[in-house]
């Protein structure tokens, strides 16, 4: 009977789909996530609730300012993902007075022991890379102004001063938390003694992304990263940023939304796999929202679901290889590769073979379903967060419709074949009164850091403290910044 050969496949698929259905979030769920995110954002902004809020809403001291900026060479550093980058950025004005930026970049991988040793070791390594870069480009004799993109939660006191609240994304260097990050960098440069630098600005990668996109599109007032980590920043009304004095204009706020969930806000959405990912991570109990979304965790989530299906005898004949049983073996880039394979299953087959399992066609189809479930939930969860930010901005500005551009960067957003579309669709579904443009930032971390340094350097003092700032109400935020 024809049905006889089909039914085992159908039977298995039904059971698999049943297990994967837990990853599906309907619109009501997402609205709930969005509402809770907005609540925490409000609590993060208010002085009296800030301490216990899970979303910290950190002021960045990046504001609108009527002053122009400096032109010339800037060094930019980018620390926060798997690699550390040093860039030489030339900021220049062309005839139309917009800024032209040219860059030279060098990437350095961060050794595990520098990530998890002491802060001194980490910053010595950074200074060593800088020294190497300056040698290569024959600019060691110059004391360049430097912009530092440091992609961790920092409580700023100024644009060039701020303490690291806690490490995220697998970093753990001891003796850094609670300390001024720019001070740690300056000390390491001093210890070497073979070059000098003028550190003028430190920014989060979301902020650098927003600034670099603002250069192309003056409506860009939101920056977002979906890469190793996940986070967003946006221009908030000064009067609601209670942690900083001043009422006029807007300041960019680094939401640090990756920490959402710390107060139990995500409990009914976290699955058994999420709990394992969290418990086996370097920072259990922290960054729970980020752990549902970002590239640091996505591959491992898929691996845990595959193991569940093996244990239920629904995959690979109920047997996993030693490699597949090993934590971290299913890399996040495989998720993108698996979902790109919509034809002959060749890529899926190759990936699974490299993990020492020999899959049937049905196995390959199941693995693709698992990847789709995990990455779709990631896009939807992240979309609920961004929709929360955008709806909040619209409310604040009392606008009928919000016309806004979001600058985005990060490997998951850029490299996954379907993340973007799923994400855009959900954000638009949840923000009926917003007209949203998404733009991808190119080299945003470096360019953004250099551009904001050019401002900080050129208008000495103006960006640095709020009381010095001569903000003009009604000005487009960041106007004339770049
Ligand atoms: C983590 C960091 C945050 C950063 C994000 C993206 O969430 O805490 O500062 O922006 O990763 O890199």
With a 6 Å cutoff on the Cβ, whether 153 touches ligand 1 is yes
**Residue 74 to residue 457: CA distance in whole angstroms:** 10
Residue nearest to atom 9 of ligand 1 (CA): 152
With a 6 Å cutoff on the Cβ, whether 60 touches ligand 1 is no
Give me ligand 1 centre to Cα 231, in Å. Answer: 5
CA 19 vs CA 25, 347, 369, 395, 444: distances in Å: 14, 24, 11, 39, 39
Residue nearest to atom 6 of ligand 1 (CA): 229
With a 6 Å cutoff on the Cβ, whether 204 touches ligand 1 is yes
Give me ligand 1 centre to Cα 418, in Å. Answer: 22
Q: Ligand 1: which atom is nearest the Cα of residue 228?
A: 12
Structure tokens at 390: 């955008």
With a 6 Å cutoff on the Cβ, whether 295 touches ligand 1 is no
**Residue 240 to residue 49: CA distance in whole angstroms:** 13
Residue nearest to atom 4 of ligand 1 (CA): 151
Q: What is the pLDDT of residues 329-344, one digit of tens each?
A: 999 999 999 999 988 9
With a 6 Å cutoff on the Cβ, whether 232 touches ligand 1 is no
Give me ligand 1 centre to Cα 89, in Å. Answer: 23
Half-sphere exposure of 320 (CA within 13 A, CB side): 22
Length of the chain: 482
Give me ligand 1 centre to Cα 59, in Å. Answer: 15
Q: Is residue 169 flagged as an active site residue?
A: yes
Instruction: Give the residue from 443, 58, 394 showing the smallest Cα distance to 213.
Output: 443
Structure tokens at 404: 């806004």
Maximum separation of any 2 CA atoms in the chain, in Å: 83
pTM attached to this predicted model? 0.92
Q: How far is CA 65 from the centre of its chain?
A: 26
Strand boundaries in 176-269, DSSP class E:
197-203, 220-226, 230-237, 250-254
The active-site residue, picked from 78, 124, 205, 409, is: 205
Q: Ligand 1: which atom is nearest the Cα of residue 206?
A: 10
Residue nearest to atom 8 of ligand 1 (CA): 152
**Residue 370 to residue 113: CA distance in whole angstroms:** 33
Asked whether 347 and 337 are in contact (CB, 8 A), the reply is yes
**Residue 76 to residue 149: CA distance in whole angstroms:** 7
Instruction: Give the list of residues 6+ apart from residue 314 with CB closer than 8 angstroms, or none.
Output: 12, 15, 16, 19, 366
Residue nearest to atom 1 of ligand 1 (CA): 229
Give me ligand 1 centre to Cα 287, in Å. Answer: 10
**Residue 307 to residue 325: CA distance in whole angstroms:** 7
**Residue 465 to residue 418: CA distance in whole angstroms:** 42
Please list the pLDDT of the chain residue by residue as tens digits (482 residues).
Answer: 444 555 778 899 999 999 999 999 999 999 999 999 999 999 999 999 999 999 999 999 998 654 456 788 899 999 997 789 999 998 877 666 556 777 899 999 998 888 889 999 999 999 999 999 999 999 999 999 999 999 999 999 999 999 999 999 989 999 999 999 999 999 999 999 999 999 999 999 999 999 989 888 889 999 999 999 999 999 999 999 999 998 889 999 999 999 999 999 999 999 999 999 999 999 999 999 999 999 999 999 999 999 999 999 999 999 999 999 999 999 999 999 999 998 899 999 999 999 999 999 999 999 999 999 999 999 999 999 999 999 999 999 988 899 999 999 999 999 999 999 999 999 999 999 999 999 999 888 888 888 888 877 765 433 333 333 333 333 334 444 33
The active-site residue, picked from 124, 160, 169, 291, is: 169
Q: Look up residue 23 and give its DSSP letter.
A: G
Q: Ligand 1: which atom is nearest the Cα of residue 81?
A: 12
Q: Report pLDDT for 98.
A: 58
Burial grade of 409 (CB within 10 A; 0-12, 13-18, 19 or more)? buried
Residue listed under structure tokens 């699955």: 271
Residue nearest to atom 11 of ligand 1 (CA): 229
Residue listed under structure tokens 């806690």: 166
Supply angle C-alpha 159, 165, 167, rounded to 5.
Answer: 110
**Residue 380 to residue 423: CA distance in whole angstroms:** 6
């Amino acid at each position: 009977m024809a049905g006889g050969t089909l039914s085992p496949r159908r039977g298995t698929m039904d059971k698999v789909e049943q297990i994967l259905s837990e990853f599906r979030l309907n619109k009501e769920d997402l609205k709930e996530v969005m509402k809770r995110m907005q609540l925490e954002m409000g609590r993060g902004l208010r002085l009296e609730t800030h301490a216990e809020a899970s979303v910290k809403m950190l002021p960045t001291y990046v504001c609108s300012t009527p002053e122009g900026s400096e032109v010339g060479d800037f060094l930019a550093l980018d620390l926060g993902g798997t690699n550390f980058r040093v860039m030489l950025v030339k900021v220049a004005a062309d005839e139309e007075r917009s800024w032209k930026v040219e860059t030279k970049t060098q990437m350095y991988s961060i050794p595990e022991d520098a990530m998890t040793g002491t802060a001194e070791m980490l910053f010595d390594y950074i200074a060593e890379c800088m020294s190497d870069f300056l040698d290569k480009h024959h600019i060691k004799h110059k004391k360049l102004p430097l912009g530092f993109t440091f992609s961790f939660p920092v409580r700023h006191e100024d644009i060039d001063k701020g303490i690291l609240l806690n490490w995220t994304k697998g970093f753990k260097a001891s003796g850094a938390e609670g300390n001024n990050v720019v001070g740690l960098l300056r000390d390491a440069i001093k210890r070497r003694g073979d070059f000098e630098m003028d550190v003028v600005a430190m920014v989060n990668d979301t902020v650098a992304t927003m600034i670099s996109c603002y250069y192309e599109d003056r409506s860009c007032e939101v920056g977002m990263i979906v890469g190793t980590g996940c986070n967003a920043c946006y221009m908030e009304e000064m009067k609601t940023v209670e942690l900083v004095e001043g009422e006029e204009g807007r300041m960019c706020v680094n939401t640090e939304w990756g920490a959402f969930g710390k107060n139990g806000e995500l409990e009914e959405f976290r699955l058994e796999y999420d709990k394992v990912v969290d418990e086996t991570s370097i920072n259990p109990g922290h960054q729970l929202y980020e752990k549902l979304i970002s590239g640091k965790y996505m591959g491992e989530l898929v691996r845990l679901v595959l193991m569940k299906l093996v244990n239920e005898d629904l995959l690979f004949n109920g047997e996993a290889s030693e490699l597949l049983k090993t934590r971290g073996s299913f890399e996040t880039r495989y998720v993108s590769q698996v979902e790109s394979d919509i034809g002959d299953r060749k890529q899926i087959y190759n990936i699974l073979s490299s993990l020492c399992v020999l899959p049937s066609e049905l196995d390959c189809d199941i693995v693709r379903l698992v990847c789709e479930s995990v990455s779709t939930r990631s896009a939807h969860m992240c979309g609920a967060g961004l929709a929360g930010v955008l709806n909040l901005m619209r409310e604040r500005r009392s606008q009928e419709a919000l016309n806004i551009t979001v600058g985005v960067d990060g490997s998951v957003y850029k490299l996954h074949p379907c993340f973007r579309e799923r994400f855009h669709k959900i954000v638009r579904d949840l923000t009926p009164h917003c007209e949203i443009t998404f733009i991808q930032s190119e080299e945003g971390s470096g360019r953004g850091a250099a551009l904001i340094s050019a401002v900080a350097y050129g208008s000495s003092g103006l960006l640095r403290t709020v009381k010095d700032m001569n903000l003009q109400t009604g000005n487009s935020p960041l106007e004339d910044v770049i």
